[in-house]
Structure 1
Amino acid sequence: MARLERLTVYPVKGLDGIDLESADVLEGGTVARDREFALFDAAGDVLNGKRTDRVHALETDFDSETSVLLVEAPDGETREFDLDADRERAESWFSDFFDEDLSLERDASLGFVDRREMGPSVVSTATLETVASWFDEMTLEGARRRLRANIEVGGVDPFWEDRFVGADAPAFEIGDVRFEGVTPCGRCVVPQRDPDTGEPIEGFREQFVRKREVTFPEWADADAFDHYYSLMIITRVRDRDRGTRLRVDDPVETVETQ
């Protein structure tokens, strides 16, 4: 049976994610705590993995109840930052680490997601397993950390999510929350890098595109995809379902739209 397998948010944009058992959909249509904080430089540009592979040198954890961020740096020491009460100290430490003047901003109503008019990213477990099989250097958990989806659906076929974008695409429901596919997610440089070391897989993009093309499902709408360097979809939660809670193990059902 199709089910919500994993629910992952990335409290500080560009840093490690945390798995949750449940989370609310915010009124803005995103998952609570996802990209709630982000580091910005003096020009107002965000610092993330697209911009620097230095983010892979950090191992982070986040307590969603207390907003305490733990950061283990390459020197082996772990720093603790209370992002509710002492954000300035975190700003100072990250500024020193990245050698830039950075501010740590917060948006609890929507988060600093890339596509602020859209909602959660969705992929299936089978899709991640398939992609991991394309590269000797990649595991299932590694694929999860490279591709950074919010919602992972189990009990379905590889590339299940592709059916929800394009002309006459159906929607799907997780528990009481309805999702509509908006667009495939074109990938950046981040998935080619080892999430721990930042070491890239040689020829990653070319291999990915070849494999994606030959495994592209015949039932998906190819016109909805600009290129084959795309994986997972970005969705929109309908307005009346915002404020509703998602829970791991919630059933997932396809819904034909009118």
Structure 2
Amino acid sequence: MTDVDPHLARLRVYPVKSLDPDDRTRARVLADGGLTHDRAYAVRDADGRYVNGKREPAVHGIDATFDPESHELALRARERAAEGGALPATTFAVGEASGRDAAADWLSAYFGYPVTLEHDGTGGFPDDTTAHGPTVVSTATLDAVADWFDLGTESVRRRFRPTLELGGVPAFWEDRLYADRERVVRFRIGDAVFRGTNPCSRCAVPSRDPETGEAIAGFRETFVERREATRPDWADATWFDHHYRLAVNTAVPEATVGETLAVGDAVEVLGIDDGNPQS
């Protein structure tokens, strides 16, 4: 395609896994493949399981704001604030263990069961522990999905929670960034090379309003029908045992660790490789 200008249009990290996003203009690739401050904190229950939108819809009722300079996390319970509830909005210094413990106490009171707040500054807490790099989607794809459900693009962006968003390309252009189940696609954003591994299989979270948690009836069925009807020829069919997939998972070669991504960086497809996606 010669009439495209692929570039990084948006860079969005999620300082606390499953909570609110934070738009950035730059981010560095960390040792374990994540980006600076992306999913650097995670809430776990007493059994060590993530407290996330897949299992706990109440996460949608939390406003979370993270300050990357001070490492302070502000938490607010929207419904309780509206009802004059007893759980106050509070800011915690989560860069310190004592601050994480205090934030965990607040979250335990909110959820109604004991939780911990954990920190990993080497690459965060990704869902995919093999392809643990940032997820990639295009703005045009989010626009298309928004049209399917008569939603705003920002609502779709918050539902699917991508990290890297590409501009200058048509809808589903990112489906060029993976191959079949035996190979990966190498592509470059600025000076950072990634390996696209697979289209991301989705969970129940995109069906829910990111502010209220209210679900759209039949969301998955409608999405699957529209995604199958619009899947481009360049999307490798071997991945589509089902069509509830959107955005691209990536792996990070060792040489990319330490590189910085910036909004506006050009995107270039380099080729297809066999073998280990992390080599």
Q: TM-score range by the shorter chain?
A: over 0.9
Map of 1:160 onto structure 2: 173
In 2, distance between residues paired with 1:182 and 1:35?
Answer: 20
RMSD: 1.3
Pairwise mapping of residues 17-96 of structure 1 onto structure 2 (< 5 A)?
17-73=21-77, 74-76=79-81, 77-85=88-96, 86-96=99-109
Letter in 2 for 1:128: L
Q: Using the alignment, how far apart are the partners of 2:271 and 2:101 within structure 1? A: 49
Return the alpha-carbon distance in structure 1 between the equivalents of residues 184 and 101 of structure 2: 46
Corresponding residue of 1:117: 130
User: For residues 75 and 59 of structure 1, what CA distance do their matches in structure 2 show?
Assistant: 11
Alignment check: 8 A CA contact 2:27 2:261 kept: yes
Q: Structure 1 residue 171: deviation in Å?
A: 2.3
SS state at 1:182 partner: strand
- For structure 2, the residue ranges without an aligned partner over 5 or more in a row are 82-87, 274-279
**Runs of 5+ consecutive residues of structure 1 not aligned to the other structure:** none
Distance 1:180 1:236 in 2: 5
Contact 2:60 2:211 in 1 (8 A): yes
In 1, the alpha carbon distance for the partners of 2:19 and 2:200 equals 19
Separation of aligned partners in 2, 1:89 and 1:225 = 44
Contact 1:25 1:243 in 2 (8 A): yes
How many residues matched? 257
Are 2:259 and 1:244 aligned? yes
Is 2:177–2:185's contact at 8 Å kept on the other side of the alignment?
yes
**Percent identity among equivalent residues?**
46
Aligned equivalents of 2:170, 2:71: Cα separation in 1 = 36
Compute the displacement of 1:72 (Å): 2.0
Quote the residue 2:211 is aligned against.
196
1:135 is matched with 149
**Ranges of 4+ aligned residues in structure 1 off by more than 6 Å:** none
Bigger shift: 140-149 or 174-183? 174-183
CA distance in 2, matches of 1:18, 1:101: 26
Does structure 2 retain, via aligned residues, the 8 Å contact 1:163–1:169?
A: no
Match of 1:124, as an amino acid?
A: S
Answer yes or no: is 1:102 the counterpart of 2:115. yes
Q: TM-score, normalised by structure 2?
A: 0.89
Please say if residues 121 and 235 of structure 1, whose CA atoms lie closer than 8 Å, have aligned partners that are also in contact.
yes
Provide, for residues 190-211 of structure 1, a one-character-per-residue CA deviation record: whole Å limited to 9, x for no partner. Answer: 0000000111111111110000
Q: Does the 8 Å contact 1:68/1:82 carry over to 2?
A: yes
Once residues 202 and 221 of structure 2 are traced to their aligned partners in structure 1, the CA distance between those partners, rounded to angstroms, is 13
Q: Deviations over 1:196-246 (max 9, x none)?
A: 011111111111000000000012211123310000010112211111001
The Cα of 1:169 is off from its aligned counterpart by 5.6
For 1:251 and 1:27, the matched residues in 2 are separated by: 23
Letter in 2 for 1:113: P
Asked if 1 retains the 8 angstrom alpha-carbon contact of 2:177 and 2:269, the reply is no
Q: Is the 8 A contact 1:165 1:224 kept in 2?
A: no
Question: TM-score, normalised on structure 1?
Answer: 0.96
Question: Alignment partner for residue 253 of structure 1, among 248, 259, 268?
Answer: 268
Q: Tell me which residue corresponds to 1:10.
A: 14
